[in-house]
Amino acid sequence: MKNFAVILAVDEKMGLGKGNALPWRLSRDMQRFREVTIPAAEGKLNAVVMGRRTWESLPAKFRPLPGRINVVLSAQTGLALPDGVSRAGSLDEALVLLTARADVADIFIIGGGVVFAEAVQHPACNKIYLTRIAGDFSCDVFFAPLSADFKLLRSSEEFKENSLSFQFQDFERL
């Protein structure tokens, strides 16, 4: 089974979202999300795997996320999804199906809270791309404290946008 990376943004309380939406809007962070998840080996596409609630939180005009193979995790076998978007009934099912596809380059787990919690415990998770945003956004979904298995590889400079400060950090599993 292929390894995968997790990509997420958190506030200072490790908050991820509120009311099934992102409580911030940072174009530089969205740019980083595209820069990390889109570029793929020639002739292939990367895959993004997300929970059903995160899929539903994406504005209709942004889904499926373009230039990437979209997979939605859900136990609902009858879940209606557009052509080209796959459902998987478990994280392992998604990883097996994507590993078997010759047209898939890298796999990214893109949320939300339920899926991140399982993903970072998974032995095939070898990288975390984290955006740390200063401030408390009264979130209702949280990320667990990062396990000591993950070592900080690099931190970016601090960015500022809409009076918010944030920083990108890359972690790798030891």
Ligand X SMILES: NC(=O)c1ccc[n+]([C@@H]2O[C@H](COP(=O)([O-])OP(=O)(O)OC[C@H]3O[C@@H](n4cnc5c(N)ncnc54)[C@H](OP(=O)(O)O)[C@@H]3O)[C@@H](O)[C@H]2O)c1
Q: Which is nearer to ligand X, 41 or 89 (CB)?
A: 89
Q: Which is nearer to ligand X, 69 or 141 (CB)?
A: 141
Answer whether 172's CB lies under 8 Å from 37's CB: no
Least distance from ligand X to the Cβ atom of residue 98, Å:
14
Q: Which is nearer to ligand X, 16 or 107 (CB)?
A: 16
- Give the footprint of ligand X on this chain (CB under 6 A): 8-9, 16-17, 20-22, 51-54, 57, 73-76, 89-91, 110-115, 118, 141
- Residues in a beta bridge with 157: none
Least distance from ligand X to the Cβ atom of residue 119, Å:
9
Q: What are phi and psi for residue 149, nearest 5 degrees? A: -65, -20
Q: Which is nearer to ligand X, 18 or 44 (CB)?
A: 18
Least distance from ligand X to the Cβ atom of residue 32, Å:
11
3-state secondary structure the chain: CCCEEEEEEECCCCEEEECCECCCCCHHHHHHHHHHHCCCCCCCEEEEEEEHHHHHHCCHHHCCCCCEEEEEECCCCCCCCCCCCEEECCHHHHHHHHHCCCCEEEEEECCCHHHHHHHCCCCCEEEEEEEEECCCCCCCEECCCCCCCEEEEEEEEEEEECCEEEEEEEEEEC
Least distance from ligand X to the Cβ atom of residue 43, Å:
28
Q: Which is nearer to ligand X, 91 or 104 (CB)?
A: 91
Least distance from ligand X to the Cβ atom of residue 108, Å:
11
